[in-house]
C-alpha cells in the first residue's frame, strides 16, 4: 500500500520552523542540544518504506533503541539538512546522491535533552548500506503505511526521573519502535490528518 506523496509533501514545513515544536513529556525546562535526523522514505515498487536503524546497546544516548539516522549538530554543519545527511552517511553509508529532501517536521524536543529537526527525504533504490558497527546494530525497513496507521500506535507508560511518562510505540515484528522515533512518526501522521481520521 502506498501513501500519496503529493499530499505528504504538502503537509511538511518548507523550512525548519523555530516557533513550532513537539514537546515530549519531561522536555520542559531542560537545556536542549541541537540535533537532526533523516526521516528516510524509500520509494519501493510495492509501497514506500521507512529506513530505520537499531542502535548498538553500548551507546550512551538511546542505546539499543530504534531510531532514524542522525545525531548532534556540529559546528561545521550549515543547518539541519547538513547534519542529517552527514550523520546518515556516517552511520549507515547511504549516499547523499540517493536522497531528495522534500521538507521538515516540527522540531521534536526530547525528555533526554535534545531538540531534533526531522528532515524528510525520499530515497531512491537501489542503494548501498554500510552500517557503522560501533553505532548501528541493524538497518531495516518498515512499510510507511503501517507506521502512519493509528491502529498500529500503542500507548505505554514508564517511570523516568521520578515521574510517570506516557509514550507511543509501534511494534513491528521483533522491533519495538518507541520514544522520539515514534513521536516523530506520530507528528507526520498528525500533519497528514490521519490521527483525527482514525481516532
- Count Cβ neighbours within 10 Å for each residue of 147-180 and write b for 16 or more, e otherwise: bbebebbeeeeeeeeeeeeebbbbebeeebbbbb
pTM: 0.90
User: Along the 199 residues of the chain, how does pLDDT read in single tens digits?
Assistant: 789 999 999 999 999 877 777 776 665 667 789 999 999 999 999 999 999 999 887 656 555 789 999 999 999 999 999 999 999 999 999 999 999 999 999 999 887 788 999 999 999 999 999 999 888 999 999 999 999 999 999 886 654 555 656 668 999 999 999 889 999 999 999 999 876 544 4
Kindly list the structural domains of the chain, giving each domain's residue range(s) and its CATH number in brackets, ordered by start: 5-143 (3.90.79.10)
Integer Cα distance of 24 and 167 in angstroms:
8
pLDDT at site 31: 77
pLDDT at site 112: 79
Amino acid at each position: 500500500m502506498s501513501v500519496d506523496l503529493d499530499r505528504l509533501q504538502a503537509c511538511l514545513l518548507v523550512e525548519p520552523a523555530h516557533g513550532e515544536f513537539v514537546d515530549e513529556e519531561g522536555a520542559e525546562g531542560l537545556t536542549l542540544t541541537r540535533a537532526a535526523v533523516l526521516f528516510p522514505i524509500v520509494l519501493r515498487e510495492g509501497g514506500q518504506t521507512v529506513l530505520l536503524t537499531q542502535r548498538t546497546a553500548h551507546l550512551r544516548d538511546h542505546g539499543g533503541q530504534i531510531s532514524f539516522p542522525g545525531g548532534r549538530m556540529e559546528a561545521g554543519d550549515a543547518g539541519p539538512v547538513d547534519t542529517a545527511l552527514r550523520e546518515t552517511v556516517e552511520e549507515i553509508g547511504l549516499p547523499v546522491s540517493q536522497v531528495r529532501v522534500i521538507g521538515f517536521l516540527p522540531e521534536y524536543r526530547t525528555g533526554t535533552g535534545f531538540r531534533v529537526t526531522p528532515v524528510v527525504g525520499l530515497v531512491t533504490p537501489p542503494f548501498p548500506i554500510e552500517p557503522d558497527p560501533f553505532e548501528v546494530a541493524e538497518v531495516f525497513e518498515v512499510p510507511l503505511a503501517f507506521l502512519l496507521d493509528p491502529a498500529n500506535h500503542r500507548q505505554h507508560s514508564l517511570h523516568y526521573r521520578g515521574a510517570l511518562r506516557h509514550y507511543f510505540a509501534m511494534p513491528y515484528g521483533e522491533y519495538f519502535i518507541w520514544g522520539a522515533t515514534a513521536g516523530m512518526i506520530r507528528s507526520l501522521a498528525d500533519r497528514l490528518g490521519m490521527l483525527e481520521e482514525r481516532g
